């Protein structure tokens, strides 16, 4: 269950750290007391469920099947590879006392059979995986890929039997045979390609049908386009199209494409970059991490060290950069980059491109023979909007502090991305030094730290953007350069409006000289678009927006003219949509603009389907156990603030073509965020307008509208969390191991999300994981979860103590069942908490939430037995330790993102417990709850995370041990001191003397 929740949570969040780490898998293995076979099987099943739950996903601008397959066939094998590598490295360190203790403790949990080989566990898990036929059925998109994997195994078997040393006949040919390929064939192939297992897997019983092998000789073989490419064929249109849709078979072809993208002709550079971002990136699972690496490298090509040489070189690279930026801008591709954890590197590569191309005057040279024109504005806009997608550029700093940090542990800001990227640069990068010394003229920006201060144009825009969000614009004095640029842009917009009005019969009354400056220069054509750098345009846009929005508010501009002017501005510089969204978001939040009627005359009307959308929203929320607040009663007119009406009216005019995805991907999340600054019914109104425009997105839009209620409605969040607990625990069986229990997971996350043509019914856990990243006050979640864990753990104990049998009430079996159920409650609570707020919520749990829970006066509860108080303390201790383990790890090595955090947070919490024990501070909780909490917390740390103990102060250890001995827990006190390291040995001797 924990694996499923964490995989789903990190998949739905925009992670900059990657999806799941080897340390997380080790933590789950220890806490589940599972063998490596069981752990790997749980990992495979969780990833398969992630794929199968949305094998036919809702159509919309969200990650689809390719991203989920990336998790199953690339991220999970890479995580397992790290575990196997750690196993090999740690085999020589068995003499370490802490590691030795951890191994013994774990082996006692799994039956004391000694150190089980992780590789054998992986092989066994893959063999058992064949029994889960319901999860192995491939989605339609990858049936051919699964068949190819099965045919490859059949070819290997056939070649081996013919004495050809396992020569695979299908390396560069597609054999048209229905081999019955399934997801396991793809999984095994992904493991073989990374040397996790060998080709003996092809001979597993039932892996390949004998009938398939017998058909191979008769099956036609089609030559692979990659073999044609490898033989040196030119990259003409037909070959490029084939390579775009066929994943590369090996790394050799990818490396050749990379060299062509850097050193080929103009057309070859563009074609090679497109191919790299095609099927090889989205479906080349066996080499996907390498393709991602080369895509990021192409974003930062080698350039000369001189400023003039840099500009000339970047212009030469424009076709390649344009192709790579547009190819990597799809929703699925960006999410794949996120899953691989390279978002900081992508941001660091985009910043120099933005700085350089934003400082160049536009030109119309360098046309390709294909007719494409990678203009300076277009390359800048694609790089700039790509960069904006990587962080919440439209969110004010105060809101970032309030909202918390999401599943990744930190709120995404540009500074944080650069800090994280710089922290990954090795201090002594000998390989990089060698590469630079080969050609002193070349600079590789990936080898040196990136700081925002090094890029003055971007930094100036960044500061201006934050300033505009935080406070209203200040006026410009006449003669200011920005004032002059704004006038030029207004002249351009005004001329466009005038043309539009001449054809429609209207009249624009906006002055073309709105800032009172000088008129256009004599001889300058007012219809000619101004020659300005992109940074000059972006700096002036907020003042342009203020002028035209004010003109519309005062009746000088019609809504049609306003939208026409904004569209012309975006056509002029597509990057301007970023500043437009940011400015409108801020103005909506301020609430100073008048409401306008969405009546279908001045502004578009959602009335045709608004009632239907609201009804479907209520149905989705009701199925998840949430009551939707009623909208405004009566036939009142539908109103939106002027900036919100302008933004939605503008965006529904955009085409939804592939070429404009880089613009639409910026608008969608920002516009959803804007609705939080409007009255509640605004999201259904906006959703209805979009659903009228894109009918095939109807179900996706309705689900998005349903999720929007959780952004600021704390009551709805509490209802949904309660529904998560009840749906998981209501059908879960205690006798079933939690890491293989499918019924509880399906109750929480559902079996399938979307059925084509039917309004989706979404399980509460799935809905929460899709929504928790947008909750405004994420810290509220901590209090709700801790209350639910306490409540449901008490109920678990009460259920067993109400048995009719007096013997059963006090029997060890009764307590064992109650604590097992409480453990499930704690695991669910910890998993949801980590999914909601990551490291910072866990820190708050240790620092504030749990201490407050212990100190606060206990609410009145009816008929709560002593056993219920004990089980409540146990559940809370388990949740605290398990959540800390998920974000900090249990081993002696702290993950890089948790450096210093674990010792500080855990040490502070244990200091608090020791102080309460020593000074006998009055507590609000029941004494049985307090005693159970402390005893279980120490016991869990001793058993599962002994390396944490060495990070505690010796005085804290002594106080805790003394308190435990006072509760007749001398054995536990001694175990605690023994794990304290060499410095605690004196206290160990003292404790032994006291015991005897």
Q: Which residues does residue 223 pair with via DSSP β-bridges, in sequence order?
A: 173
How confident is the model over 299-345, as pLDDT tens digits?
Answer: 999 887 767 777 788 888 999 999 999 999 888 899 999 999 899 99
Q: How does the average pLDDT of the chain come out, rounded?
A: 82
pLDDT at 398: 44
| Residue 784 in tokens | 């709700």
pLDDT at 364: 54
The fraction of the chain above a pLDDT of 70, given in percent, is: 79
pLDDT at 790: 93
- Each residue of 678-688: b (16+ CB within 10 Å) or e? bebbbbbbbbb
- Host H or E run for residue 728: helix 714-729
Q: Is 70 exceeded by the pLDDT of residue 134? A: yes
Q: Is 80 exceeded by the pLDDT of residue 152? A: yes
How confident is the model over 351-375, as pLDDT tens digits?
Answer: 999 999 999 988 754 444 344 567 8
Residue 938 CA: distances (Å) to CA of 608, 871, 914, 945, 977: 61, 15, 11, 10, 11
Q: Looking at 99-108, 569-578, 581-590, which range is the least confident one? A: 99-108
pLDDT at 160: 84
Angle between helices 559-572 and 534-553 (to 10 degrees): 180
Q: Is 80 exceeded by the pLDDT of residue 824? A: yes
In 845-984, which residue ranges form alpha helices assigned H by DSSP? 850-855, 866-888, 901-919, 927-944, 946-949, 954-966, 970-978
Q: How confident is the model at residue 505 (pLDDT cuts 50, 70, 90)?
A: low
Radius of gyration (C-alpha) of the chain in whole angstroms: 31
Task: State mean pLDDT over 425-453.
Answer: 53
Q: Is 70 exceeded by the pLDDT of residue 858? A: no
Residue 372 buriedness (CB in 10 A; 0-12 / 13-18 / 19+): middle
HSE (side-chain half, CA atoms, 13 Å) at 356: 22
Q: How far is CA 429 from the centre of its chain?
A: 29
SS3 label, residue 442: strand
| Residue 836 in tokens | 């909601």
How confident is the model over 69-112, as pLDDT tens digits?
Answer: 999 999 999 999 989 887 666 654 444 433 333 333 433 444 33
Measured distance between the N- and C-terminal CA atoms of the chain, rounded to whole angstroms: 45
Angle CA(697)–CA(683)–CA(835) in degrees, nearest 5? 80
Residue 502 CA: distances (Å) to CA of 45, 454, 755: 64, 48, 49
How confident is the model over 775-816, as pLDDT tens digits?
Answer: 888 889 999 999 999 999 998 888 766 654 454 455 666 678
139 in Cβ contact with 184 (< 8 Å):
no
SS3 label, residue 447: helix
pLDDT at 569: 94
Angle between helices 642-651 and 534-553 (to 10 degrees): 120
Would the pTM of this model clear 0.85, i.e. be above it? yes
pLDDT at 4: 76
Q: Is 80 exceeded by the pLDDT of residue 686? A: yes
Q: How far is CA 813 from the centre of its chain?
A: 42
HSE (side-chain half, CA atoms, 13 Å) at 327: 27
In terms of Cα–Cα distance, which of 732, 731, 738, 708 is closest to 720?
708
Between 528 and 944, the more confident residue is: 944
pLDDT at 660: 85
| Residue 744 in tokens | 């509880």
Q: Is 80 exceeded by the pLDDT of residue 902? A: yes
Between 519 and 620, the more confident residue is: 620
Q: How confident is the model at residue 715 (pLDDT cuts 50, 70, 90)?
A: very high
Those residues whose C-beta lies under 8 Å from the C-beta of residue 295, and which sit 6 or more positions away, are: 276, 277, 281, 324, 328, 337
pLDDT at 268: 94
| Residue 594 in tokens | 């008048």
642 in Cβ contact with 595 (< 8 Å):
yes
pLDDT at 563: 94
Task: State mean pLDDT over 45-66.
Answer: 83
Give CA–CA dist 544/869, Å, rounded: 64
| Residue 513 in tokens | 């000289």
Task: State mean pLDDT over 909-923.
Answer: 90
Q: Is 80 exceeded by the pLDDT of residue 740? A: no
Q: How confident is the model at residue 410 (pLDDT cuts 50, 70, 90)?
A: very low
510 in Cβ contact with 557 (< 8 Å):
yes
Give CA–CA dist 876/933, Å, rounded: 7
Between 372 and 965, the more confident residue is: 965
| Residue 853 in tokens | 């829970």
Give CA–CA dist 913/880, Å, rounded: 13
Between 25 and 383, the more confident residue is: 383
Between 923 and 188, the more confident residue is: 188
Give CA–CA dist 645/844, Å, rounded: 39
pLDDT at 631: 58
pLDDT at 24: 85
Q: Is 50 exceeded by the pLDDT of residue 547? A: yes
Between 957 and 521, the more confident residue is: 957
Neighbours of 186 (CB within 10 A): 23
Q: Looking at 295-304, 445-454, 521-530, which range is the least confident one? A: 521-530
Q: How confident is the model at residue 506 (pLDDT cuts 50, 70, 90)?
A: low
pLDDT at 512: 44
779 in Cβ contact with 404 (< 8 Å):
yes
Residue with tokens 């390929």: 181
Give CA–CA dist 360/377, Å, rounded: 9
Residue with tokens 């009746």: 555
Task: State mean pLDDT over 285-298.
Answer: 95
Task: State mean pLDDT over 363-391.
Answer: 75
pLDDT at 444: 42
Those residues whose C-beta lies under 8 Å from the C-beta of residue 28, and which sit 6 or more positions away, are: 2, 3, 34, 39, 42, 739
């Amino acid at each position: 269950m924990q694996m499923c929740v964490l995989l789903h949570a990190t998949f739905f969040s925009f992670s900059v750290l990657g999806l799941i780490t080897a340390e997380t898998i080790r933590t789950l293995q220890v806490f589940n007391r599972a063998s490596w076979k069981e752990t790997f099987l749980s990992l495979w099943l969780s990833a398969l469920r992630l794929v199968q739950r949305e094998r036919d996903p809702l159509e919309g601008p969200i990650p689809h099947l390719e991203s989920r397959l990336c998790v199953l066939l690339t991220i999970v094998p890479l995580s397992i590879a790290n575990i196997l590598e750690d196993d090999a490295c740690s085999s020589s360190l068995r003499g370490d006392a802490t590691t030795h203790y951890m191994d013994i403790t774990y082996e006692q949990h799994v039956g004391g059979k000694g150190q089980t080989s992780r590789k054998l566990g992986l092989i066994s898990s893959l063999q058992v995986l064949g029994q889960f036929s319901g999860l192995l059925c491939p989605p339609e998109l990858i049936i051919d890929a699964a068949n190819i994997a099965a045919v490859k195994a059949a070819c290997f078997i056939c070649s081996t039997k013919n004495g050809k040393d396992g020569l695979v006949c299908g390396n560069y040919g597609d054999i048209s045979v229905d081999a019955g390929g399934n997801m396991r064939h793809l999984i095994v192939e992904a493991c073989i390609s990374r040397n996790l297992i060998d080709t003996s897997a092809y001979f597993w019983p039932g892996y390949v049908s004998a009938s398939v092998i017998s058909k191979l000789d008769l099956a036609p073989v089609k030559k692979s386009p990659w073999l044609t490419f490898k033989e040196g064929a030119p990259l003409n249109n037909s070959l490029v199209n084939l390579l775009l849709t066929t994943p590369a078979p090996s790394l050799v072809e990818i490396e050749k494409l990379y060299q062509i993208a850097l050193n080929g002709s103009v057309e070859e550079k563009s074609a090679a970059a497109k191919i790299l971002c095609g099927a090889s990136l989205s479906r080349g699972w066996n080499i996907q991490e390498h393709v991602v690496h080369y895509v990021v490298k192409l974003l930062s090509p080698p350039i000369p060290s001189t400023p003039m040489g840099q500009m000339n070189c970047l212009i030469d690279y424009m076709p390649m950069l344009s192709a790579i930026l547009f190819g990597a801008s799809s929703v699925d591709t960006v999410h794949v980059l996120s899953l691989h954890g390279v978002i900081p590197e992508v941001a660091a590569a985009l910043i120099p491109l933005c700085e350089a191309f934003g400082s160049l005057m536009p030109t119309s040279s360098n046309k390709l023979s294909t007719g494409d024109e990678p203009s300076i504005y277009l390359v800048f806009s694609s790089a700039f909007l790509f960069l904006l997608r990587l962080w919440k550029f439209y969110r004010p700093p105060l809101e970032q502090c309030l909202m918390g940090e999401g599943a990744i542990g930190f709120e995404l800001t540009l500074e944080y991305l650069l800090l994280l990227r710089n922290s990954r640069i090795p201090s002594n990068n000998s390989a990089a030094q060698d590469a630079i010394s080969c050609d002193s003229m070349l600079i590789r920006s990936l080898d040196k730290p990136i700081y925002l201060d090094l890029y003055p144009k971007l930094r100036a825009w960044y500061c201006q953007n934050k300033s505009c969000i935080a406070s209203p614009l200040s006026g410009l004095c006449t003669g200011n350069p920005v004032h002059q640029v704004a006038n030029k842009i207004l002249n351009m917009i005004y001329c466009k409006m005038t043309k539009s009005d001449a054809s429609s019969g209207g009249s624009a009354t906006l002055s073309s000289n709105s800032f009172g400056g000088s008129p256009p220069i004599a001889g300058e054509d007012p219809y000619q678009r101004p020659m300005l750098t992109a940074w000059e345009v972006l700096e002036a846009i907020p003042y342009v927006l203020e002028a035209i929005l004010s003109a519309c508010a005062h009746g000088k501009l019609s809504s049609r003219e306003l939208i026409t002017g904004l569209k012309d501005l975006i056509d002029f510089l597509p990057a301007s949509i970023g500043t437009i969204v940011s400015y409108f978001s801020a103005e909506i939040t301020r609430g100073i603009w008048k409401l306008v009627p969405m009546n279908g005359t001045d502004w578009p009307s959602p009335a045709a389907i608004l009632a239907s959308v609201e009804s479907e929203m209520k149905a989705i929320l009701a199925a998840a156990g949430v009551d939707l607040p009623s909208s405004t009663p009566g036939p009142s007119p539908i109103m939106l603030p002027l900036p919100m009406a302008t933004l939605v009216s503008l965006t529904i005019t955009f085409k939804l073509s592939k070429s404009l995805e880089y613009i639409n991907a910026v608008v969608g999340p920002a516009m959803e965020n804007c609705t939080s600054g409007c009255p509640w019914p605004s999201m259904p109104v906006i959703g209805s307008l979009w659903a009228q425009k894109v009918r095939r997105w109807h179900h996706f839009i309705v689900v998005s509208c349903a999720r929007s209620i959780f952004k600021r409605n704390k009551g709805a969040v509490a209802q949904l969390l309660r529904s998560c607990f009840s749906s998981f625990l209501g059908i879960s069986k205690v006798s079933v191991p939690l890491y293989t229990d499918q019924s509880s997971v399906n109750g929480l996350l559902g079996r399938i999300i979307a059925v084509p043509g039917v309004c989706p019914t979404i399980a509460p856990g799935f809905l929460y994981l899709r929504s928790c990243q947008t909750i405004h006050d994420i810290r509220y979640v901590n209090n709700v979860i801790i209350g639910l864990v306490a409540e449901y753990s008490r109920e678990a104990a009460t259920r067993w103590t109400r048995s009719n049998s007096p013997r059963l009430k006090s029997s060890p079996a009764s307590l064992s069942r109650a604590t097992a159920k409480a453990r499930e409650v704690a695991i669910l609570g910890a998993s949801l908490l980590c999914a909601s707020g990551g490291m910072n919520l866990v820190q708050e749990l240790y620092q504030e939430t749990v201490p407050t829970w212990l100190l606060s006066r206990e609410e009145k509860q009816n008929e709560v037995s002593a056993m219920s108080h004990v089980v409540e303390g146990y559940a809370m201790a388990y949740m605290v330790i398990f959540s800390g383990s998920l974000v900090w790890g249990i081993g002696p090595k702290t993950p890089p993102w948790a450096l210093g955090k674990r010792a500080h947070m855990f040490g502070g919490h244990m200091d608090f417990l020791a102080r309460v024990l020593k000074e006998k501070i009055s507590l609000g909780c029941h004494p049985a709850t307090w005693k159970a909490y402390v005893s279980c917390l120490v016991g869990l740390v001793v058993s599962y995370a002994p390396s944490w103990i060495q990070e505690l102060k010796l005085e804290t250890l002594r106080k805790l041990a003394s308190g435990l001995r006072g509760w007749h827990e001398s054995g536990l006190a001694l175990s605690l001191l023994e794990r304290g390291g060499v410095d605690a040995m004196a206290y160990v001797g003292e404790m032994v003397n006291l015991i005897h």
